[in-house]
């Protein structure tokens, strides 16, 4: 079983840092730009993605999720844009107002 965390570009960059505590780190976990999940989120009039009211709906699209290798601020693009690098060599750009959906396993002691 897992739960889903939806992060802004800034939150994703911070959560991918090596000095982040392991329970907060997203590198090695699976994720996907939230806009790639059908009927998952809606946008505000200003164009920002809203955090989903039913994040568990992402579970039906886990086959699209990819392992996150790193997240960094993107160069040569709009300010506030982060780039997500996946282990398979692909990337996603998260512009200001976008979200990264990350699958977090539920760990039981």
Is the pLDDT at 107 greater than 80, yes or no? no
Q: What's the alpha-carbon Rg for the chain, to the nearest Å? A: 13
Q: Is the pTM of this model over 0.85?
A: yes
Can you give the pLDDT at residue 106? 83
End-to-end CA distance of the chain: 14
Ordered domains of the chain (ranges, CATH): 2-102 (2.30.30)
pLDDT digits (tens, 9 = 90+) for 5-42: 999 999 999 999 999 999 899 999 999 999 999 989 99
Can you give the pLDDT at residue 109? 65
């Amino acid at each position: 079983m897992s739960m889903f965390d939806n992060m802004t570009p800034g939150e994703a960059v911070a959560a991918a840092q090596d000095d982040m505590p392991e329970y907060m780190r997203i590198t090695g976990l699976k994720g996907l730009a939230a806009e790639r999940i059908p009927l998952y989120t809606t946008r505000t009039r200003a164009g920002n993605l809203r955090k989903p009211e039913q994040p568990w709906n992402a579970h039906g699209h886990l086959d699209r999720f990819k392992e996150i290798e790193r997240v960094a601020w993107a160069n040569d693009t709009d300010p506030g844009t982060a780039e997500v690098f996946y282990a398979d060599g692909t990337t996603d750009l998260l512009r200001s107002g976008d979200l990264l959906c990350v699958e977090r396993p539920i760990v039981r002691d």
